[in-house]
Each structure stands twice: as structure tokens, then as C-alpha cells.
């Protein structure tokens, strides 16, 4: 495929129609595996702060494709009637540089982030984990629960959000959709004490999980910290747990690991493994039933490349999208 064949332009509606969560899960798991065995080059990330938000650029190469994603994340957009996260992904042929597709990034970001949590839970959660606390009940929270329900035999879920009404709406909607109890929790610590798995997907700039909050054997997916100023997990808690990163260099710069390193409570040697190493079987995941395992998920470009490639290939098969000649 070259630029002479045109560049596909795919809208958000196109991407939604072309990418489902199960396909995204398989693509993301394979991306982690390839990264773990050294088949994928380390991805890059650039953050540019703005007023009440900012931009990040994530780029990487996988399976002969290059993708660069530019996302804006502006916290007050909901008041404007706009999505908090907006952006585009450029997909190119990694051998020739030809731009193959330009696609909306929102659905891909949502699904690949949730898929990464599910991949981590599959490999790191304690066998028999049945109860989940989900912190942050927005769009990403819903995707997280859908993804986790595919890899865990969930029997009960507790939803928690600073906006209690949002947590209640989440609980009502997701219980109907998934067919198991989802309860809005008014007290976070009580919910955590009853949970085997915890997923946090908030824009918090202050930690809200501290030592003593998680019971032995918990698996925590900390998803919200994807820039230097964000933090969900207290440094002392993180340093006391088994740490698995998506990409250690990236987590050291913008994840919860960044704050633990800055505090002096953890070093890079504190990181047990990258998720790709666990998926590839190069390193053991959970070692004991009692250890608390934290997945520091900052979201990598390899996830974007994998998901964008799946969208592009499906678009070519189905004829979806508009083909343009950018060189004309």
C-alpha cells in the first residue's frame, strides 16, 4: 500500500463501526507480546501543556506500520458540550513512509486503554478474582468494566466517583448491560476492602490510594496518570507493591512511578517487569497469592498502532472511509 493508492480518512463513526473491544484486546495483547520479545521498537511520547489541559503525541512502529497520535485532553470540555479527549491518528507504511490513513482517535484511545487493563488483569490478577472496585465512572470507566468483564468472572462491582450521581448512573446502566450486580459505593475504603481487583481511571492530580487501602492479593490497574502532574497512587503504597509497567521509561516520566521515583521511595530497580515481558513469558507475573500487584498504565503508542492497524485493515476489506490524495 502506497500514497498513490490514497489516504483513507476515517471518522469517529467509521472507527466505532470497524473496531470492537474483542478485536482490540487481541491486537493490544499481541503488541505487548511483541514488545516483550523485542520485536517492537520502544515507543515515543511528547507532552505539551495548555490551559486547563494539554496535548500529548505518542508514536511507534509495529508490524510494518507507524502511527502517531495527537490527543488533546481538556478537563473543562464537558461544560462546553465537547469530549474531554479529542484527537487524530496518522497511520503510515513503516517501510516507505506513505500515509495510509488519518482517523479519529477517541474510540481507539478508549478501547485500547481498556484492553490494556484487561490484558494486565488476565496475566496479573489473582486466580478466582471476582470483585472489582472501579474508580472514575466516565466514558473510560465504562470501557474498563466491559473489558475486565471479558477476562474475569466478576460477581460484584463497586463504582466510585467524586460525583455520586455519576457513580449511581454508572451502576444502574452497567448492571443492566452486563447482568451482574454493580453498586455505587459511598465509601471508597469499604469498597476496596471487599475487592480483589481495582481499576482507577481519573484525572486526579492528588493520590487517593494510600498504604493500608488495598487488601493482600489485590490487583490494581492505575490508568489515570498519563502526564507529569497526574497521580492516583501514593508513592509509599506504590513502592510497597509489585510494580508492572506498560513501558518503564514512559511510566518513570509521566506515570504514578514518576512520583514514587521523585519521592525517593522507589527506584527503577523497584519495577518487577514490563507487561510485555510477562505476556511473552520472559518474566513471571504474580508470584504469590498475597502480593499486591500494580499495573502502572500510561498508554503507549504500540497500543495505538495495533488498534489503528486493525481499523485500517478492516476498512480496506469493507470499503469504509473516504480515500484522498494528500499529494495532489
Would you please indicate which residues are annotated as catalytic (active-site) residues?
69
Q: Are 67 and 59 in contact (CB under 8 A)?
A: yes
Q: Are 24 and 311 in contact (CB under 8 A)?
A: no
Question: Taking the chain, what is the end-to-end CA distance rounded to the nearest angstrom?
Answer: 17
Residues, the chain, total?
Answer: 328
DSSP one-letter string for 59-90: EEEETTEEEEEEEEEEGGGGGGTS-SEEEEEE
116: closest CA among 124, 106, 105? 124
Determine what percent of the chain falls in helix, strand and coil, rounding each to the nearest 5. 40, 25, 35
- Residue ranges of alpha helices (H) inside 138-230 are 139-151, 164-178, 188-193
> 182-184 and 322-324 as β-strands: parallel, antiparallel, unpaired?
unpaired
Phi/psi for 132 (5° steps) reads -130, 140
Q: Which residues, 6 or more positions from 288, have their beta carbon under 8 angstroms from its beta carbon?
A: none
How far, in Å, CA of 158 to CA of 135, rounded? 8
Q: Which secondary structure element, helix H or strand E, spans residue 295, and what is its range?
A: strand 293-296
> For the CA atoms of 140, 141, 142, 144, what is the dihedral angle to 10 degrees?
90
Q: What is the CA radius of gyration of the chain?
A: 19
Q: Are 66 and 306 in contact (CB under 8 A)?
A: no
Amino acid at each position: 500500500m502506497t500514497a498513490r493508492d490514497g489516504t483513507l480518512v476515517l471518522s469517529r463513526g467509521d472507527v466505532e463501526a470497524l473496531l470492537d473491544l474483542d478485536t482490540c484486546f487481541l491486537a493490544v495483547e499481541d503488541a505487548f507480546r511483541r514488545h516483550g520479545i523485542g520485536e517492537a521498537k520502544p515507543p515515543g511520547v511528547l507532552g505539551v501543556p495548555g490551559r486547563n489541559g494539554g496535548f500529548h503525541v505518542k508514536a511507534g512502529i509495529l508490524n510494518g506500520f507507524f502511527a502517531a497520535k495527537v490527543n488533546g485532553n481538556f478537563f473543562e470540555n464537558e461544560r462546553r458540550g465537547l469530549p474531554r479527549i479529542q484527537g487524530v491518528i496518522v497511520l503510515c507504511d513503516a517501510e516507505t513512509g506513505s500515509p495510509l490513513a488519518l482517523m479519529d482517535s477517541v474510540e481507539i484511545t478508549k478501547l485500547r486503554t481498556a484492553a490494556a487493563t484487561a490484558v494486565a488483569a488476565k496475566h496479573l490478577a489473582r486466580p478466582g478474582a471476582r470483585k472489582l472496585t472501579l474508580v472514575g465512572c466516565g466514558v473510560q470507566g465504562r470501557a474498563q468494566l466491559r473489558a475486565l468483564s471479558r477476562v474475569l468472572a466478576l460477581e460484584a462491582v463497586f463504582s466510585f466517583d467524586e460525583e455520586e450521581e455519576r457513580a449511581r448512573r454508572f451502576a444502574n446502566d452497567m448492571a443492566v448491560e452486563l447482568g451482574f450486580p454493580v453498586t455505587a459505593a459511598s465509601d471508597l475504603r469499604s469498597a476496596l476492602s471487599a475487592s480483589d481487583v481495582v481499576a482507577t481511571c481519573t484525572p486526579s492530580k492528588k493520590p487517593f490510594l494510600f498504604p493500608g487501602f488495598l487488601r493482600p492479593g489485590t490487583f490494581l490497574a492505575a490508568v489515570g496518570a498519563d502526564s507529569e502532574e497526574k497521580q492516583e497512587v501514593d508513592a509509599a503504597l506504590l513502592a510497597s507493591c509489585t510494580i508492572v509497567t506498560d513501558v518503564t521509561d514512559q511510566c518513570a516520566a509521566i506515570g504514578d512511578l514518576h512520583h514514587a521515583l521523585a519521592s525517593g521511595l522507589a527506584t527503577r530497580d523497584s519495577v518487577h517487569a514490563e507487561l510485555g515481558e510477562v505476556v511473552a513469558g520472559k518474566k513471571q507475573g504474580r508470584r504469590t497469592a498475597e502480593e499486591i500487584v500494580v499495573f502502572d498504565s500510561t498508554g503507549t503508542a504500540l497500543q495505538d498502532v495495533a488498534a489503528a492497524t486493525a481499523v485500517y485493515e478492516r476498512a480496506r476489506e469493507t470499503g469504509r472511509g473516504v480515500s484522498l490524495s494528500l499529494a495532489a
